[in-house]
């Protein structure tokens, strides 16, 4: 079974040759490659190799990347799930990413059990976005309740703690930067 990238080289050569308004004979004279070899290469009946495509690319004034398509890596992130003290963390970013992203599910509390804050402190910066439920966030001396669609961003060196605000479970997105970098969103200004 031929490599898909290799099967695309011939049609790409033909496309660039036609874009440059060159005939097979003209490209043959300029590269020293016979017109029949060029024709077979463009039709996929001749395997491409560097001895052929380097002079062709040079004559067509294009880079090899224009003829040999780069492999596009699978963009999907392998999902892993871990549970820490009943909290579910689903990875949404590659492990190698400088910013870690998780879908976090804080379980519902049993009736009559109140959550006692046990603040955590560590290096970094965190951004939270509540997907469902209501989140109680204790940040230093401040306490806020966030509902669906609300977000918070904070320095994780400030003592912080979170739990469901009420009995229901809470689902949220958590984006964490160990380097303490703030989240930067780039948006185009609206045109009016």
Give the model's pLDDT for residue 186: 47
Give the model's pLDDT for residue 146: 97
Alpha carbon 62 to its chain's center:
29
Distances (CA, A) of 8 to 86, 103, 136, 148, 182: 51, 39, 55, 47, 43
Give the model's pLDDT for residue 1: 34
For the chain, domains (ranges, CATH) are: 4-67 (1.10.260.40), 81-177 (2.60.120.10)
Within 8 A by CB and 6+ apart from 154, the residues are: 125, 126, 139, 160
* Mean predicted confidence (pLDDT) in 171-177: 94
Helix axes 24-31, 50-60, angle to 10 degrees: 110
pTM: 0.60
At 146 the three-state DSSP class reads: strand
Q: What is the per-residue pLDDT across 55-68, written as a single tens digit (0 to 9) for each?
A: 999 999 998 888 88
Q: What is the per-residue pLDDT across 110-134, written as a single tens digit (0 to 9) for each?
A: 776 666 678 889 888 999 999 999 9
Q: What is the per-residue pLDDT across 44-97, written as a single tens digit (0 to 9) for each?
A: 899 899 999 999 999 999 988 888 877 777 888 888 999 998 899 999 998 878
Going by pLDDT thresholds of 50, 70 and 90, the confidence category of residue 101 is: very high
Q: In terms of Cα–Cα distance, which of 62, 94, 66, 67 is closest to 80?
A: 94
Tokens of 174: 């958590």
Q: What is d(CA 76, CA 79) in angstroms, rounded to the nearest whole number?
A: 9
Longest Cα separation, the chain? 88
Share of residues in the chain with pLDDT > 70 (%): 88
Q: What is the per-residue pLDDT across 9-36, written as a single tens digit (0 to 9) for each?
A: 999 999 999 999 999 999 999 999 999 9
- On the question of pLDDT at 37 being above 80, the answer is yes
Place of tokens 């290469």: 41
Q: In terms of Cα–Cα distance, which of 153, 146, 103 is closest to 124?
A: 153
């Amino acid at each position: 079974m031929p490599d898909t990238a290799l099967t695309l080289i011939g049609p790409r050569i033909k496309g660039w040759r036609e874009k440059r308004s060159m005939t097979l004979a003209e490209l043959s004279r300029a590269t020293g490659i016979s017109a029949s070899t060029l024709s077979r290469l463009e039709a996929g009946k001749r395997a491409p190799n560097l001895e052929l495509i380097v002079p062709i690319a040079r004559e067509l004034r294009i880079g090899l990347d224009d003829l040999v398509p780069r492999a596009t890596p699978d963009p999907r992130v392998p999902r892993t799930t871990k549970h820490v003290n009943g909290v579910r963390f689903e990875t949404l970013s590659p492990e190698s990413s400088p910013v870690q992203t998780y879908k976090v599910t804080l379980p519902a509390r049993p009736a009559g059990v109140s959550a006692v804050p046990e603040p955590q402190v560590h290096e970094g910066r965190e951004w939270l976005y509540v997907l469902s439920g209501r989140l109680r966030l204790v940040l230093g001396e401040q306490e806020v309740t966030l509902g669906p669609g609300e977000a918070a961003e904070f320095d994780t060196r400030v003592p912080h703690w979170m739990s469901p605000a009420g009995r229901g479970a809470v689902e949220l997105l958590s984006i964490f930067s160990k380097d303490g970098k703030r989240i930067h969103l780039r948006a185009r200004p609206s045109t009016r």
